[in-house]
Structures are given as structure tokens and as C-alpha cells.
Structure 1
């Protein structure tokens, strides 16, 4: 029987790189199944549009680059020209290309950083006001990876409602086994 002894020498950046690797295939499948021509569709008036949600899921890994290479982010800046505008895509291939570029940025930033840097604080602001100031590794784990899992799950609900096949992510789906 194979030993299941846990490694005690894992670095934070290795853990984050492995998490990206583990979630890459399922995220890619979900993005590949987003129906084209449906970007403005919403399941409820309070929900975000399908195109925005898909762009968000595809681009979120690049947030890691920001969390590593910048000291702060104002996600709701007062200046209109600095406000976030989601990538507007029309073809699924564009969405997947956005995802690939986002992963590339995240991996490069993680590979070039140190655990010591990941322990330093990073600030999240809105309208110039401090929302949180915590170590980078906490922001990467909770502000990106956990948040990303939430939106990926949300996207699979949208896929189901649009009659698209739902990929197996953390367990089998009704449409796909491991």
C-alpha cells in the first residue's frame, strides 16, 4: 500500500500552484460549455449576466498576479476610466484564451515570489477606503481561490439552466462522471 505521509516542507506558492493545476481542467470544461450568443442572459433580475460571470471565472486567476506584484487594489475606484470592465467575448475560444492568459499570469507571479513575500500585507480598497489589510497568502486563498470556486459553482448552475452539460468539478455531475 502506498504511503500517505504528509509532506511538511510544502511552500505556500507550491500549494497555490497545485491548486491552480487541480482546478484548471474543470474550469476549462465549464468555460468551454458556456453557450455563445447568450452573454446578456440572467436567471434572475438580481443575478449577474452570463457573459460577465464567464469572464469573471476566466480572469480571476490573474488576480494572483495583482496580489503578488502590487501592494493594493481599489476594486471600485472613483475615477470612471480606472473602473474594471470585464472582457467582452463573443466566441468561446476567446473566453478560453482569456483563461489561459490569466493562468499564465498567476503561475508566473507565483513562481517568481517567495513565501516571505506572501506573508506581507496586501490592501483591498473600495472608493479609496480600506476594506481589508491581510497577508497576501490569505488574500490569495480567500479573495481569489475560494471566491473563484464560488463563481465556478455559480457558472455550473447557469450551465444547467441553459441546458448545457455540467462538468464534474469536485465530484461527479449528473452529466459527467470522473
Structure 2
């Protein structure tokens, strides 16, 4: 199996689980956080809704500088409603799907850089960056989001297995 095929399958599966989590985020609680050091619910939800779109720039750009001199290309969106979040997820998935469909495994073996303020923070082959900085990163933050859902009395969806609120097997 080609890496691109594996990543496309991962993309579709993770998008479905992410959609189920985003559908349950309560609106109007964007500033809520469980602890002073935690990120606010609105920021976390936006991150979860858009992270799959990072595949696009990991495939089509050679680097991302989060804090370049001048103006950054990366501007986090402010998504306030469930519809905006789901639309952002759909847009992110479409961009990622197109990027993966139009690349090759050979290209995924080439290096990609994550740069902060002109300094290379991370450099690895694109396939590793996609696996670690997109899919694993998404699983981490989506799991964090499910804790936020629980603490806000929202039902937690089944993701990799049953939850206390949902059992797809029973």
C-alpha cells in the first residue's frame, strides 16, 4: 500500500470521529477552560476543526514559519458556531484530500520544516510530520476536547471505542 493511500484512509476515518466530537461542543462557551493554564474551549475547538488542513501545507510548502519577520501566513480563525466549525473541518479535509491525491510517496519522503521566528524547531520527512504533527496531534487535542465536553455536561462520542455516553457495539 502506498503512503498516500494510507493517509487518505486515515484522513477519512479521523475526520468522521472529529465531526462527532465537534457536533457536541456547546456554543457560547468559547472562553471556558478547566484550569487557568488550559487553553480556552473556543481555541481548542478551532484547532481540532482545522488541524487536518495542515496536511495541505506540509505537502505543498517546504516549511511553515509561525512567527516570521513581517506578516505570518498562518492566522488562526475564530470559529464561534457549530456550523462554522463543521464547515472549517470540511474545508480542511478537502484541502488535505486534494494535497494527498496530488502528491507521491517519493515527495512525502522529502523533508519539511516547522520554523519559529526563523529558527528550525523541527525538520523531518513529510510523512513523519503528517503522522506526528497532524494525526497524532489531532488525537491528542480531540481527546482533550472530549474531557472539555464531559466537564461541560455534553455527551462524549465514541471515537476509538465506546464512551460512557455512546456504545456503537451494544
* Same structural fold, with TM-score higher than 0.5 when normalized by the shorter chain: yes
Provide structure 2 residue ranges, at least 5 long, that are not aligned to the other structure. none
Asked if structure 2 preserves the Cα contact closer than 8 Å seen for 1:59 and 1:102, the reply is yes
Aligned to 2:94: 104
Determine the C-alpha separation between the residues in 1 that align with 2:53 and 2:46.
Answer: 12
1:46-101, Cα deviation, whole Å (9 max, x unpaired): 0001000000000001100000000001123343x417432212221111000000
How many residues align? The count is: 168
Asked if structure 2 preserves the Cα contact closer than 8 Å seen for 1:76 and 1:83, the reply is no
TM-score (normalised: structure 2):
0.95
Residue 32 in structure 1 maps to residue 50 in structure 2? no
Residue 74 in structure 1 maps to residue 65 in structure 2? yes
Aligned to 1:133: 123
Structure 1 residue ranges (4+ consecutive) displaced by more than 6 angstroms after TM superposition? none
Determine the C-alpha separation between the residues in 1 that align with 2:69 and 2:34.
Answer: 30
- Of residues 77, 88, 91, the one that matches 2:78 is 88
Larger Rg: 1
Determine the C-alpha separation between the residues in 2 that align with 1:142 and 1:173.
Answer: 25
Determine the C-alpha separation between the residues in 1 that align with 2:27 and 2:75.
Answer: 19
Asked if structure 1 preserves the Cα contact closer than 8 Å seen for 2:158 and 2:167, the reply is yes
Residue 49 in structure 1 maps to residue 40 in structure 2? yes
Aligned to 1:156: 146
Residue 15 in structure 1 maps to residue 6 in structure 2? yes
What RMSD, in angstroms, separates the aligned Cα atoms of the two structures?
Answer: 1.1
Provide structure 1 residue ranges, at least 5 long, that are not aligned to the other structure. 1-9
Judged with a 3 Å threshold, the aligned counterparts in structure 2 of structure 1 residues 169 and 84 are, in CA distance, closer, same or farther, namely same
